[in-house]
Amino acid sequence: MNKYIFVTGGVCSSLGKGVAAASLGSLLESRGLTIRMIKVDPYINVDAGTMSPYQHGEVYVTDDGAETDLDLGNYARFTRSTLSRANSITTGQIYQEVIRREREGSYLGRTVQVIPHITDRIKQRIRAVGDESGVDVTIVEVGGTVGDIESFPFLEAVRQMVHEAGRRNVLAVHLTLIPGVANGELKTKPTQHSVKELREIGIQPDILLCRAPTPLPDELRRKIALFTNVDHDGVISAYDIQSTLYEIPLMYHKQGLDRICLERLDMEVPQEDLSGWEHVVEVVTGAEKTVRIAVVGKYIELSDSYKSVDEALIHGGVANDVRVELVKIDSEKLDQDQESMRRAFAGIHGILVPGGFGGRGVNGMVAVARFAREEKIPYFGICLGMQVMVIEYARSVLRYEDADSTEFTPDSPHPVVSLLEEQVDVKNYGGTMRLGLSASRLLPGTLVRRIYGTEIIHERHRHRYEVSNAYRQQLNEAGLLTGSVTEDYSLVESLEWKDHPWGLGVQFHPEFISKPVEAHPLFQAFIAAAGTYGEQRAGDADAG
């Protein structure tokens, strides 16, 4: 019988359901099980692709081009679970599918209702993933908060699945909040009310993950168990971790979360191997050397906007046995004169400019690219970060002072970055970019070829604009070298500065496939170069 674990949340949002679900998945994998992860989002958008980063954080892209919630990025970093559009379910998708079937006459004239038609479709989507060959456990994170009207159809589908499959095959895990009041006292009332709401829907939680600023005293855990009808050992203390989120699986394991889940699902409990996670935590918390990386972007105010990039930089540090300190710089607010730039980047060992859309803050990014190029600071540009390298080089070296991307200046006399040909007549912005995994050919003698050590790579894309081939030869001859291209040589995939220690821009998004236990080679190489630069600067200062 297929096994399912449903993770719900109560009291308020942003308590960490995604990391909790991913941590549980990693623990089950450490015991040799094959798991699948699903994220259910109650918003009516079909996917996350058209959402502002300020609304929903970054958009995570899968191999098959699905634009999804950032929690799928957590799943990818914490587990080996295969991820595709099947693993991201939204209200918009479910209603779109049901309405399409109604228009086709599939319901044979019956009145189409939330129950059973919407809930049946939700269950079908979940079971389609759980029924994949070789899957032991499917973990489903239900977005939103218990009590939200948007979440009701999904929670009703969960209730039905518990009833249909039985308590030994379906487990309900509820993440809730234990706030501390002014005198530090931990209060259980919000958790009691949250569980009450969940039980009114018809779902009795088997396990509670109690978010709190500090570990819960045993007396408090017993009180929570008494009021919520949850066994004492099922009340898990999800206390704040100060070091790194990669310590969270170890925190849950010490309290027996994975063992309890397997026992209640009537499964064997194989021996675990957590050495990989232990090494990651050891490096992040105890590394002697620190590398300081400036992330220069336009969505800096919300930390989740560049979640995968931030984490991939940490992974690069783990691979080099160094701690990475991230310095966030808002490109829109950056003073661009040389003296101000020197102050802003004092003590910085490497600069990363991530992706983004729209012209706001781009001139600041262009100035940063020039500063990194001229000062020989390791620079890594991703998507838009590569395109600003092109704009800067065309303005500064080719002397096309009005060079720009047609995204920002449609009538630019020197459109060095332009819209993909197939995008010219596109009117619908949802899911129409160049999305998902595709191959790139790495050219001989280039930095990017040396890093990957192979000719053909496969990376994920999410963009509408490309380096204009009309300027490709001029840029190459002037010293902005093409490092990789599409398999048919038609489009530029990466660029690098000639005679620079480490200046690389890529059109794809390598951050999406980086893991703490297996850093992406580009991030590993970038952090290594930044570390070397920092050591050289320190040596020069000592010599002076």
Reading the block at residue 379, the tokens are: 């620079």
Least confident of 100-104, 197-201, 210-214, 537-541: 537-541
DSSP state string for 99-129: HHHHHTTTTTTPPP-IIIIIHHHHHHHHHHH
Residue 394 has pLDDT above 90, yes or no: yes
For residue 57, tell me if it sits in a domain. no
Residue 423 has pLDDT above 80, yes or no: no
- Of 238, 253, 278, the domain-final residue: 278
Tens-place pLDDT, residues 133-151: 999 999 999 998 998 899 9
The reply to whether 272 and 314 lie within a common domain is no
Residues 141 and 71: beta-carbon distance below 8 Å:
yes
- Of 278, 302, 334, the domain-final residue: 278
Q: What is the side-by-side strand order in the sheet with 465-467?
A: 403-405, 414-419, 465-467
Q: What is the pLDDT of residue 517?
A: 93
Residue 511 known to be catalytic: yes
Catalytic residue, from 29, 141, 392, 511: name it. 511
Residue 463 known to be catalytic: no
Give me the percent of the chain exceeding a pLDDT of 70.
97
User: If you average pLDDT over every residue of the chain, what do you get?
Assistant: 93
Residues 481 and 473: beta-carbon distance below 8 Å:
no
Range of the domain at 211: 3-42+113-278
Q: Using 50, 70 and 90 to split pLDDT, how confident is the model at 51?
A: confident
The reply to whether 252 and 295 lie within a common domain is no
What is the CATH classification number for the domain harbouring 380?
A: 3.40.50.880
H/E element holding 532?
helix 521-543
Residue 541 has pLDDT above 70, yes or no: no
* Eight-state DSSP code of residue 183: T
C-alpha closest to that of 294 among 363, 337, 342, 360: 342
> What contacts 195, CB < 8 A, 6 or more positions away?
10, 174, 176, 205, 208, 227, 228, 229, 230
- Of 247, 278, 309, the domain-final residue: 278
The reply to whether 364 and 233 lie within a common domain is no
Residue 261 known to be catalytic: no
Q: What is the pLDDT of residue 12?
A: 84
Q: Tell me the mean pLDDT in the region 520-524.
A: 98
For residue 62, tell me if it sits in a domain. no
Residue 431 has pLDDT above 70, yes or no: no
Residue 9 has pLDDT above 80, yes or no: yes
| Dmax (CA) of the chain | 85
* Eight-state DSSP code of residue 518: B
Q: What is the pLDDT of residue 13?
A: 80
The reply to whether 183 and 248 lie within a common domain is yes
Q: Tell me the mean pLDDT in the region 386-405.
A: 96
Which residues pair with residue 292 across a beta bridge? Answer: 325
Residue 181 has pLDDT above 90, yes or no: no
Catalytic residue, from 58, 141, 383, 407: name it. 383
Q: Using 50, 70 and 90 to split pLDDT, how confident is the model at 355?
A: very high
Q: Tell me the mean pLDDT in the region 443-466.
A: 96
Give me the percent of the chain exceeding a pLDDT of 90.
82
H/E element holding 154?
helix 152-165
> Which amino acid is it at 397?
V
What is the count of structural domains for the chain? 2
Tens-place pLDDT, residues 368-383: 999 999 999 999 999 9
Q: Using 50, 70 and 90 to split pLDDT, how confident is the model at 304?
A: confident
For residue 303, tell me if it sits in a domain. yes
C-alpha closest to that of 191 among 254, 142, 236, 258: 236
C-alpha closest to that of 216 among 178, 189, 254: 178
The reply to whether 246 and 326 lie within a common domain is no
For residue 442, tell me if it sits in a domain. yes
Residues 487 and 443: beta-carbon distance below 8 Å:
no
Q: What is the pLDDT of residue 243?
A: 85
Q: What is the pLDDT of residue 335?
A: 87
Tens-place pLDDT, residues 264-295: 999 999 999 999 999 999 999 999 999 999 99
Reading the block at residue 430, the tokens are: 């949802």
Residue 542 has pLDDT above 70, yes or no: no
Cα 312 to chain centroid distance, Å, stands at 9
Helix, strand, coil shares of the chain, percent, nearest 5, are 40, 20, 35
What is the CATH classification number for the domain harbouring 205?
A: 3.40.50.300
Reading the block at residue 128, the tokens are: 């389609």
Residue 386 has pLDDT above 80, yes or no: yes
The reply to whether 310 and 225 lie within a common domain is no
Q: Using 50, 70 and 90 to split pLDDT, how confident is the model at 56?
A: confident
Tens-place pLDDT, residues 462-513: 988 999 999 999 999 999 999 999 999 899 999 999 999 999 999 999 999 9
C-alpha closest to that of 71 among 126, 3, 23, 137: 23
Q: Using 50, 70 and 90 to split pLDDT, how confident is the model at 18?
A: very high
Q: What is the pLDDT of residue 185?
A: 86
* C-alpha–C-alpha distance, residues 89 and 290, integer Å: 40
